[in-house]
Amino acid sequence: MKTLKSIAYKGKSDFVNMGGNLIRQPLPTQTLDQVDPFLLLHHYKYDVGPYSPGLSLSPHPHRGFEPVTFLIKGEQLHRDSLGNEGSLSAGDVQWMTAGSGIVHDEGPTKDFVGTMEGIQLWVNLPSKFKMATPKYQDIKSENIPTITVENGKGSIKVVAGELNGQKGAASTFTEVNAFIVKLEVEDATTIDIPKHHETLVYLLEGETQINEEQTLKLGQIQLLTFHKDGDAITLEANKNSTLLVLSGEPIQEKVASWGPYVMNTQTEIMEAMRDYQQGKMGHLY
């Protein structure tokens, strides 16, 4: 089994207002910069009223990584400078490759009223793929392979990577596993993870014991990281739980970042800013 490396995030009962959006940020923190190749994890939640602007963001650029959205509740609209437009419903996933540059906008669908909740994850790209052609994967819940938990009633959605012979719905540039795990009380399961992968587990709701050595509990400890010393982790639910299990092959390259750009050098960051200003990442009207 992979042994516990760090308690990376102690959960709070409230969300922090960041630019008008209500967000928890378990990654990065003051004590944990990244879990290579994962750069950022935002857990957002917002009540959208009849006249609320919701989570809508003005069009903004990205370059050099892959922004991924796991929608937990609500309906979310995506538009980008490639001409893609897609609507996510609860359980859907949006896997976008910013690559050489893309401009996009996202927010609740026009008629949606209710609770919006989701995860935005930033997955780094190695230098050889940072200028890859941008693309957009709109992955519907029903198209995500689902595995029934062997010792219970829960399920595991294989969004990316591979588990128990099931290949994930998303294509990735490097080895990345992304699993959405739902467990009912007393469900227990073992998740195989390559030994060389960096691994993190984030609890969205409930209470789950990990490897019989640590308990993730809502509002207390919510994110754990693990050493690269084993090839599996075990989960056992004390309460009905939802978890995001992520693992990936470390890229082990220097990271230079500024706002929406993630590159390898400050020179490349300046080039990204210039290219956006000159319209080379496209336009969104």
- Residues belonging to the binding site are 60, 62, 104, 106
Q: What is d(CA 69, CA 86) in angstroms, rounded to the nearest whole number?
A: 12
Q: What is d(CA 127, CA 273) in angstroms, rounded to the nearest whole number?
A: 18
Q: What is d(CA 262, CA 32) in angstroms, rounded to the nearest whole number?
A: 17
- 271 contacts: CB under 8 Å, gap ≥ 6: none
- As annotated, the binding site for Fe cation includes 60, 62, 104, 106
DSSP 266: H
Identify the CA nearest to 72 among candidates 118, 28, 111. Answer: 118
Q: What is d(CA 222, CA 12) in angstroms, rounded to the nearest whole number?
A: 9
Q: Which amino acid is at 211?
A: N
